[in-house]
Amino acid sequence: MQTGQLWDIFCTVIDNHGDLGVCWRLTRQLRDAGQRVRLWVDDASALAWMATTAHQEPGIEVRPWADASQASTLQALPPADVWVEAFGCTLPEAFVAHGVATRAQQPRWINLEYLSAEDWVPRMHQLPSPIMSGPAKGWTKTFFYPGFTPDTGGLLRETDLLERQQNFDLLKRSAWRQQHAPNLLPNGLLISLFCYEPAALPQLLAQLVGTPHHLLVPPGRPLAAVLQALAGMPEHPSWSALPYTDQNGFDEMLWACDLNFVRGEDSLVRALWAGQAFIWHIYPQDDNAHHDKLEAFLDWMEAPEILRKVHRVWNGVEEGRLPSLTGNSHINWMQSGQAAKAQLLRHKTLVQQLLEYAAHL
């Protein structure tokens, strides 16, 4: 039963796999906690494969962003208790003006920020931001920062995630690997590659040539990058392309593989919960601000030096040779990931904290 508050979540899509993935997880987890949610998004097309039942989910409405500027639409909708602008998107002025004109008091207005392990995040978390101009002048929004420590907003995690992981036992894992990589040799590593366009990608592919390892490449930018790199190589590693999959299917890929290359925010968090060895391709920024973010994350994780080196080369922070991914390195990296996961499990999730905050504003 959805008897809780009504939430309006706004999302502008920069990367179908990233911003929308996070917003859909947040929407679904709030609904599972008894809330009602309207997700306003400017491009919901990726939900067709990411969340195939999104438009039929009880307690959830997926609405076109443009409708938030239509007076007839707004007049027909009950006002929400909470507004969430995800990742710095700006709410439509007509939507805000309608809220100001029709409400006795302002909603709980949350600016949900990007994820970072930098040391300034706890200081900024839950800071109020008075609105100085526009139709909502005099109202206040609050910054909410996801994070890796108890003094931040936490991470998204479904209440049944650990149970689903446990149910993905050795038999199911073996069946998954047989289905998606039937040519994997017994002593080979199964590696997933979800990335942008790293300069070190040709090095990785060359390193895997002639090994028993097999590379699984999701569609979109990873596949395009691999195809471009392979075009200039005389020999190719063992690899295969994966189809689009929903979010649960992506989790199963992470659980089934021995080493996962992940990118951005959403898949990083999923890799942490998976507890397998992973290498993160952070979202690149023009001013190289992502370099500091990467180092802050590696510091929080207490990553061993070889894993730091892999991350720096993979992300273009350092030039030089990509350290070897063969041998037993991934076992040590997995232990680092599992220690980080155990630490995170002691903290409240992002949804738990949002619910507590919205209830006591």
Mean pLDDT of 26-47: 96
pLDDT of res. 17: 74
Confidence at residue 326, expressed as pLDDT on a 0 to 100 scale:
66
Dihedral over Cα of 305, 294, 301, 204: its sign: negative
State how far the Cα of 328 lies from the Cα of 325, in Å rounded to an integer: 8
Asked, colleague to colleague, whether 6-157+348-360 and 181-344 share their fold, the answer is yes
Show the tokens assigned to 100: 């100001």
> Is the pLDDT at 25 greater than 60, yes or no?
yes
60: Cβ contacts below 8 Å, ≥ 6 apart = 27, 28, 31, 36, 37, 38, 39, 54
pLDDT (0 to 100) of residue 361: 59
Active site residue 265: yes
**pLDDT tens track for 54-104:** 999 999 999 999 999 999 999 999 999 999 999 989 999 999 999 999 998
Q: CB burial class (10 A; 0-12, 13-18, 19+) of residue 56?
A: exposed
Local confidence band at 31 (pLDDT 50, 70, 90 cut-offs): very high
pTM check: above 0.85: yes
Contact status, residue 258 vs residue 330, Cβ threshold 8 Å: yes
Q: How far apart are CA 242 and CA 253, in angstroms?
A: 10
* CA separation, residue 122 to residues 21, 149, 150, 354 (Å): 24, 8, 9, 15
Identify the pLDDT of residue 289. 79
Catalytic residue among 19, 158, 252, 258: 19
* DSSP string over 58-92: TTEEEEEGGGGG-HHHHHHSPPPSEEEEETTPPPP
Question: Do the strands 128-130 and 140-144 form a parallel or antiparallel pair, or are they unpaired?
Answer: antiparallel
pLDDT at 319 over 60: yes
- Residue 238 pairs in a beta bridge with 214
Which range, of 82-91, 185-194, 330-339, averages the lowest pLDDT?
330-339
pLDDT at residue 168 is higher than 60: yes
| Mean pLDDT along residues 142-166 | 97
Four-residue CA torsion sign, 127, 133, 134, 137: positive
Q: Where are the domains of the chain?
A: 6-157+348-360, 181-344
Domain 181-344 has CATH 2.60.40.60: no
- Specify the pLDDT at position 2: 58
Helices and strands (DSSP H and E) totals, the chain = 15, 12
In the block, tokens 């009880």 appear at 58
pLDDT class for 22, splitting at 50, 70, 90?
very high
Our measurement of the distance from residue 93's CA atom to the centroid of its chain's CA atoms, rounded to an integer in Å, reads 28
User: pLDDT band at residue 195, thresholds of 50, 70 and 90?
Assistant: very high
Q: Which residues fall within 8 angstroms of residue 119, CB to CB, at 6 or more apart? A: 296
Section 194-222 average pLDDT: 96
pLDDT per residue as tens digits for the range 263-276: 999 999 999 999 99
From 203-217, 231-245, 326-340, the region with the lowest mean pLDDT: 326-340
Buried b (16+ CB within 10 A) or exposed e, 140-173: ebbbbbbbbbeebbbbbbbeebeeebeebeeeee
Q: Would you say residue 1 has pLDDT above 60?
A: no
Mean pLDDT of the chain: 94
Average pLDDT over residues 15-44: 93
Q: Give residue 271's identity as a one-letter amino acid code.
A: A
Please state, for a pLDDT cut of 90, what percent of the chain lies above it.
89
Q: What is the mean pLDDT of residues 229-248?
A: 96
Query: Residue 47 in contact with residue 53, Cβ under 8 Å?
Result: no
- Give pLDDT, residue 324: 87
Selecting among 113, 158, 265, 266, the annotated active-site residue is 265
Predicted local distance difference test score (pLDDT) of residue 330: 80
Closest by Cα among 261, 223, 228, 263 to 241: 223
What pLDDT was estimated at residue 327?
Answer: 66
* Residues 6-157+348-360, CATH architecture: 3-Layer(aba) Sandwich (3.40)
Residue 16: pLDDT above 70?
Answer: no
